[in-house]
């Protein structure tokens, strides 16, 4: 298990610069990699996440409890295939495109439980919850069914809380330490899918 990429983004208009002020929607979901295996630049991690990363609405992203959004690289094949089919354009997403800060390999939602500890490059993080997609994810992907597809596929990723600040770089090994194993990220996703919370998720 290792960290493949670290990404960050700036708050910007989600639907382009020409949206009206009355309907302006901003987001920092479009992130770019600032440290990867070909250029493993050191990145500062604070208790609020990747230094210089921004969030437009910290009630749903960011803050202490959702400091780092982590996503398995294994899911990128799913998204590239789906988006290529649905948009009729060849899609090859780059790490960070899902809105994640950490792109990792070797660890999936079915293996990760709320409360688990991840030691990445010597820094300590804990698993908080899954990522719940919304209409902004649809816009970023250019496909109105993207949020629904994330929920149905279980390719959600999860949020981490930072317990130890410091500096890490892409290529860092990940050590996974289980906690109480009460509920996995996959189980959280299944509960959301089967419950009432998804009612207005993609409207």
Instruction: Please give the average per-residue pLDDT across 101-112, as a whole number.
Output: 98
Q: Go through the domains of the chain in sequence order and give each one's CATH number.
A: 2-186 (2.40.33.20)
The more confidently predicted of residues 146 and 20 is 146
According to DSSP, the β-strands at 166-168 and 43-46 are: antiparallel
Cβ-in-10-Å burial (0-12, 13-18, 19+) of 63 comes to middle
Closest CA to 95 of 10, 145, 170, 165: 170
Confidence band of 27 (pLDDT split at 50, 70, 90): confident
- Checking if the pLDDT of 203 tops 50, the result is no
In angstroms, the CA 166 to CA 87 distance is: 41
What local confidence, expressed as pLDDT, does residue 179 receive? 94
Give the tokens for residue 110: 């079915």
Give the tokens for residue 139: 């816009």
How long, in residues, is the chain? 203
Instruction: Please give the average per-residue pLDDT across 24-35, as a whole number.
Output: 87
Confidence band of 17 (pLDDT split at 50, 70, 90): low
The CA distances from residue 48 to 124, 125, 178, in Å, are 13, 12, 23
- 157 sits in which H/E element: none
Helix (H, G, I), strand (E, B) or coil at 78: helix
- Checking if the pLDDT of 199 tops 50, the result is no
Kindly report the pTM of this predicted structure. 0.90
Residue where the block lists tokens 């600032």:
34
């Amino acid at each position: 298990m290792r960290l493949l990429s670290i990404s960050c983004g700036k708050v910007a208009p989600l639907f382009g610069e020409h949206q009206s002020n009355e309907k302006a929607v901003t987001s920092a979901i479009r992130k770019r990699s600032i440290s990867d295996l070909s250029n493993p630049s050191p990145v500062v991690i604070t208790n609020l996440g990747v230094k210089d990363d921004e969030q437009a609405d910290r009630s749903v992203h960011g803050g202490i409890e959702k400091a780092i959004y982590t996503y398995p690289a294994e899911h990128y094949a799913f998204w590239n295939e789906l988006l290529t089919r649905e948009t009729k354009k060849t899609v090859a997403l780059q790490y960070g495109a899902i809105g994640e800060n950490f792109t990792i390999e070797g660890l999936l939602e079915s293996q990760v439980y709320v409360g688990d500890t991840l030691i990445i490059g010597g820094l300590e993080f804990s698993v908080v919850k899954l990522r719940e997609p919304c209409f902004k994810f649809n816009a970023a992907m250019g496909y109105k069914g993207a949020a629904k597809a994330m929920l149905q596929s279980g390719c959600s990723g999860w949020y981490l809380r930072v317990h130890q600040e410091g500096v890490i770089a892409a290529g860092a090994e990940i050590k996974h330490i289980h906690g109480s194993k009460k509920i996995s990220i996959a189980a959280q996703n299944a509960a959301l899918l089967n419950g009432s919370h998804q009612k207005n998720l993609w409207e």
